[in-house]
Structure 1
Amino acid sequence: MRAWPALLLGFVLGLGPAGPAAADEAGRMAARAVIAKQEQALGRDDAQTAYAQAGPGIRALFPNADLFIGMVRNQYRPVYRHRSFVFGEARDTEEAGVIQSVAIQDEYGVDWTAEYSLAQEADGQWRITGCRLTKAPGTSA
């Protein structure tokens, strides 16, 4: 299991979501759009656009787009390059704002589950605050 360090760091430092924890349906759709924008940007190797979808905690750990995309390439290869990327259930949490599940099949046909956490910033924009990537149950090595 991998988790963006910013997700854990944010909780340790008490840097929870800037806005209300619960999102309405429009908020969940807006959060999903942020993930989709980042996913599409990664597919084009558009580091700047992908990086712009990351929350302040992630940007603090990776202070420029090149460092960020390098981390994604190395630590989140199934997110970076995949055959399929299908949104699943979204849920609201007190701790992390919105958690959006995504089923991913990587470039080698291995199934993964990504759980993105997103928070709404003071300006109303949703940003990705973390991603936990795990192999799907029943997936071998």
Structure 2
Amino acid sequence: MRLVTLALGLLFLTLAPARAEPSPTDRTSFQQIIAAQMSAFRVDDGVAAFGFASPGLQAKFGSAATFMEMVKEGYAPVYRPRAVEFRAVVDHNGQPEQQVFVIGPDGRGYIAHYMMERQPDGSWRISGCYLEPAQDESV
């Protein structure tokens, strides 16, 4: 009986989806991608900024112009941040989420939660972002 239980346990482990911890190289990639997208926002280069979005996110918005309008209207803290500080990478429904503290143009602090998605070629892209006000962090 003990052998059967052990065998079933091993079978379950092999069937469970793997959630690999992002490597230090992956974490560096997340930061480089997000920083590069913010740099593209800074100079209003919508094509470059849109290029860092995952294929699913690109399909959702359809064009760089539509994407940029959404960012300008709803994401001013990442569109025109006064300051940026990379924080923890956490698991978000099995995908890595890079947390970024930003100070928006309004002087208030926010945590930008960037969901990262590995592409078939092994590269990473941004698959989503949401903002939340940071607790007691502003200038």
Could you say which structure has the higher helix fraction?
Answer: 2
TM range (shorter): 0.7 to 0.9
Give, in whole Å, the separation in 2 of the partners of 1:97 and 1:32: 16
TM-score of the aligned structures, taking structure 1 as reference length: 0.78
Which consecutive unaligned segments of at least 5 residues does structure 1 have?
Answer: 1-19
2:39 alignment partner AA = Q
Q: Which residue of 2 aligns with 1:58?
A: 57
Q: Which residue of 2 aligns with 1:132?
A: 130
TM-score of the aligned structures, taking structure 2 as reference length: 0.79
- Residue 82 of structure 2: SS of its match in structure 1? strand
- Count of paired positions: 121
1:77 aligns with 2:52: no
Taking CA–CA contacts closer than 8 Å with sequence separation of 6 or more, which of the two structures ends up with the larger relative contact order?
1
| Superimposed CA distance per residue, residues 37-65 of structure 1 (whole angstroms, 9 cap, x where no aligned partner) | 10110011010110000011211111110
Give, in whole Å, the separation in 2 of the partners of 1:81 and 1:88: 19
Runs of 4+ in 1 over 4 A off after TM superposition: none
Paired-residue identity, %: 33
Which consecutive unaligned segments of at least 5 residues does structure 2 have?
Answer: 1-18
Query: Contact 1:51 / 1:68 at 8 angstroms: preserved in 2?
Result: yes
1:103 aligns with 2:101: yes
Aligned-CA RMSD value: 2.0
What are the within-5 Å matches in structure 2 for residues 9-48 of structure 1?
21-48=20-47
